[in-house]
């Protein structure tokens, strides 16, 4: 029987997931079709019910359904519970299980890029939205010393920081203070939408004080290299864009559905072509 998969979101037109998963499905000779499924929030419950049919192997979940879907599934695994969001659902004969591969994907993309955690690592996350949450909670489980948050709205950062403090040291900083103390950090991540096309503001904060030994990650992949990441490169830092996290979270989702961790080599170039 041909199996079906897809990504649900609203809007979802620009998702790279169909191109990525279709390439892997073809590579591994799996008789499956991956759909782009734009689902309005008011239709979510009805549509999710339909995914229990045997032909559906599972689906990816993106904005704005990552939290709303909780009550519609039969099981939420510990990872998704911890992250407070579902990005992948597996259909086991009508029983829908939700998990989250965003945090795991982020850590794998970092390690693939050569970043090594050790007990003295100090990380700074800029932002306090959904992306910052996934990254912050993933980092909270690594071999590192401290995970701080800087955000325009401090209350949102405080909430995330309190969660991280269950396992690691964590402080909240204003964007101005983070700029001034940037030299203290080994890993700096832009998890805001600042720098994303067609956003007018180029940078979430100045990298004037950054250490050249720091590793800078921008979760944005459109554009592939933000003004902020270019600045980091000029400062001599190692850099990583958001495409890599996207690929690894997708690979982990694919593994959940088929038990195969797919080949990621070449995927970045393939997706850059899709983006252009």
Q: How many chain residues are in contact with ligand ATR, going by CB under 6 A?
A: 16
Residues pairing with 35 in the sheet: 6
- Report whether 127 belongs to an annotated binding site: yes
Closest CB to ligand ATR among residues 88, 91? 88
- Report whether 157 belongs to an annotated binding site: no
For residue 53, the tally of other CB atoms under 10 A from its CB is 10
Largest CA distance in the chain: 59
Out of 109, 151, 241, 244, point to the residue binding ligand ATR (CB under 6 A).
151
152 scored as a contact of ligand ATR (CB under 6 A) = yes
Q: Is the Cβ–Cβ distance between 244 and 111 less than 8 Å?
A: no
Enumerate long-range contacts of 66-74, CB under 8 Å, 24 or more apart: 66/130, 68/41, 68/44, 69/44, 69/98, 70/98, 72/44, 72/45, 72/48, 72/96, 73/48, 73/97, 73/98
Binding range to ligand ATR, per CB under 6 A, among 1-9, 89-97, 188-196, 227-235: 188-196
Give residues 124-143 in contact with ligand ATR (rule: CB under 6 A): 127-132
Residues pairing with 172 in the sheet: 149
Selection from 114, 186, 105 nearest residue 146 by Cα: 186
Closest CB to ligand ATR among residues 75, 201? 201
Closest CB to ligand ATR among residues 90, 125? 125
- Report whether 244 belongs to an annotated binding site: no
At 241, list the tokens: 């864009």
91 scored as a contact of ligand ATR (CB under 6 A) = no
Going residue by residue from 201 to 240, which x/- string records binding to ligand ATR, judged by CB under 6 A? x--x------------------------------------
Binding site for ligand ATR (CB under 6 A): 127-132, 151-153, 156, 191-194, 201, 204
- The annotation places the binding site at 15-17, 62, 78, 87, 102, 127-131, 151-156, 219, 221, 242, 249
């Amino acid at each position: 029987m041909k199996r079906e998969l897809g990504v649900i979101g609203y809007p979802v037109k620009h998702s790279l997931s169909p191109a990525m998963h279709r390439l892997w499905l073809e590579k591994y000779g799996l008789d499956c079709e991956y759909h782009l499924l734009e689902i309005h929030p008011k239709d979510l419950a009805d549509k999710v019910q339909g995914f229990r049919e045997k032909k559906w192997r599972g689906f990816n979940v993106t904005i704005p359904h990552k939290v709303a879907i909780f009550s519609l599934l039969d099981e939420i695994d510990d990872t998704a519970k911890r992250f407070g969001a579902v990005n992948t659902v597996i259909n086991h004969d009508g029983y829908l299980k939700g998990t989250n591969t965003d945090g795991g994907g982020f850590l794998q993309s970092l390690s693939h890029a050569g970043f090594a955690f050790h007990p003295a690592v100090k990380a700074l996350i800029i932002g306090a939205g959904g992306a910052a949450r996934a990254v912050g909670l993933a980092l909270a489980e690594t071999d590192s010393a401290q995970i701080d948050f800087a955000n325009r709205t401090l209350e949102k950062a405080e909430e995330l920081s309190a969660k991280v403090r269950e396992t690691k040291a964590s402080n909240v900083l204003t964007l101005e203070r983070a700029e001034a103390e940037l030299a203290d950090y080994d890993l700096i991540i832009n998890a805001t939408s600042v720098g994303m096309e067609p956003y007018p503001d180029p940078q979430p904060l100045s990298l004037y004080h950054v250490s050249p030994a720091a590793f800078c990650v921008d979760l944005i992949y459109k554009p592939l290299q933000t003004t902020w990441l270019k600045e980091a490169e000029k400062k001599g830092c190692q850099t990583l864009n958001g495409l890599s996290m996207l690929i690894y979270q997708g690979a982990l989702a694919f593994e959940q559905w088929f038990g195969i961790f797919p080949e990621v080599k070449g995927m970045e170039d393939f997706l850059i072509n899709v983006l252009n």
